[in-house]
């Protein structure tokens, strides 16, 4: 019994840091997509840390917003107008639901898109929509992570290194 209890305590201690660590900064790393590996910049946020902002680049940058548990199972084919606010500026974009993943996406115009400029700022970004409420994400490390992803725009998955 004592051994089982110590195993449970050890298991709890090793899982606590993952849940206790706040969503503090952006990262850029390779992630699996239906078409293979893709470089993705991402950050978590929201009150429970289960909401996510993600940026990938294929021919153009694509921003994805996962509402987390607050979003529930959304109805396929819906879209919403989301306002992103940071540093005293705001940008409103229409995002379409990607039903397969249950998060909203928008294809951005390119590296100079106003929303990308806003996301490369400092402090935090707050995303709001009448129907889905408001969620905040830190912007720490966003410039480097987003820059790394944008550098891959238009390159094939087997692109040459710089």
**Tens-digit pLDDT profile for residues 38-97:** 999 999 999 899 999 999 998 889 999 999 987 777 888 899 999 999 999 999 999 999
Residue 110 pLDDT greater than 80, yes or no = yes
What are the residue ranges spanned by the domains of the chain? 23-150
Q: How many CB atoms lie within 10 A of CB 52?
A: 19
Separation between Cα atoms, residue 139 and residue 25, nearest integer Å: 7
CATH architecture of 23-150: Sandwich (2.60)
Tracing tokens 């840390």 back to the chain, one arrives at 49
pLDDT of res. 156: 54
**Tens-digit pLDDT profile for residues 4-31:** 322 222 232 233 333 434 689 999 999 8
Residue 162 pLDDT greater than 50, yes or no = no
């Amino acid at each position: 019994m004592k051994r089982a209890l110590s195993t449970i305590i050890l298991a709890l201690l090793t899982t606590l840091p993952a849940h206790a660590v706040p969503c503090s900064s952006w990262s850029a790393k390779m992630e699996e997509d239906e078409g293979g590996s893709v470089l993705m910049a991402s950050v978590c946020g929201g009150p429970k840390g289960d909401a996510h902002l993600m940026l990938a680049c294929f021919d153009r940058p694509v921003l994805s917003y996962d509402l987390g548990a607050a979003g529930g199972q959304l109805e396929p084919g819906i879209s919403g107008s989301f306002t992103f606010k940071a540093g005293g500026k705001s940008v409103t974009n229409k995002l379409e639901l990607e039903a397969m993943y249950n998060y909203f996406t928008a294809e951005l115009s390119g590296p100079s898109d106003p929303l990308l400029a806003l996301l490369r700022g400092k402090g935090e970004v707050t995303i709001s929509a009448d129907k889905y409420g408001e969620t905040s994400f830190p912007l720490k490390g966003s410039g480097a992570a987003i820059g790394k992803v944008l550098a891959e725009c238009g390159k094939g998955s087997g692109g040459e290194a710089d």
